[in-house]
Amino acid sequence: EPEVTQTPSHQVTQMGQEVILRCVPISNHLYFYWYRQILGQKVEFLVSFYNNEISEKSEIFDDQFSVERPDGSNFTLKIRSTKLEDSAMYFCASDGGAEAFFGQGTRLTVV
Amino acid sequence: QKEVEQNSGPLSVPEGAIASLNCTYSDRGSQSFFWYRQYSGKSPELIMFIYSNGDKEDGRFTAQLNKASQYVSLLIRDSQPSDSATYLCAVLWAAGNKLTFGGGTRVLVKP
């Protein structure tokens, strides 16, 4: 069964460093998303991506964040100058027009 | 602000019984409604979605939607200990293509 794949599963980084979270969406899906979940809190929308451009972004998704689809398969989230409050589970999702399927997540710990 | 609300629980259910979970949402401009299951430390796993008023059944799960009253519910029949998880309600609004999640209801199925 097709699935969304995320790497790494866990990343520890020092405050102020840049991190890149990677995702391989389900092939033939056209819509890609990043969500995050701070421990004990709701899953929050960050950004959606369609046709090689951002289609919607939340207030959280400020200049610190960027997304890219560098090739036909990968979808990345870059977080510049990480802060302690960026520590969370980051989920990539994709959908083919009906329902969104989530990857297993990357646990980002900023120390 | 569009909101999705769920009782945080825990909802304790004897094995074999029916678990009933509710979700309310704040805006009538909604499109589709999703139920996800999330085990601790894992990613949301899609159970089912519904977009028309009424009931939709899939195996042991039934989703019920009432747009006039702005609620959606999930019934889990013949609950099993493996159903113990947090159940997330998510709404796809008519404007945009992002999911807004509720805080989840924790379900405990006791043998």
Give the residue on B whose Cα is nearest the Cα of A31.
Answer: B97
Strands, E assignment, chain B: 4-6, 11-14, 19-25, 30-38, 45-50, 54-58, 61-66, 71-76, 85-93, 99-101, 105-110
The whole-chain average pLDDT of chain B stands at 94
Mean pLDDT value across residues B46-56: 95
> Which residues in chain B have their CB less than 8 angstroms from residue A91's CB?
43-44
Q: What is the pLDDT of residue A31?
A: 92
Predicted confidence at residue B2, as pLDDT, reads 76
What's the sign of the alpha-carbon dihedral B31, B99, A68, A72?
A: negative
Q: How many angstroms separate the CA atoms of B82 and A77, rounded?
A: 33
* Helix, coil or strand: residue B27: coil
Helix (H) or strand (E) holding A89: strand A88-95
Among B residues 35-74, those touching chain A with beta carbons less than 8 Å apart: 36, 42-46, 49
* pLDDT at B96 exceeding the cut of 80: no
Q: Which of B37, B52, B87, B97 to mutate to test the interface with A (most CBs of A within 10 A)?
A: B97
pLDDT value for B66? 94
Per-residue model confidence (pLDDT) at position A73: 84
Q: Is the per-residue pLDDT at A2 higher than 90? A: no
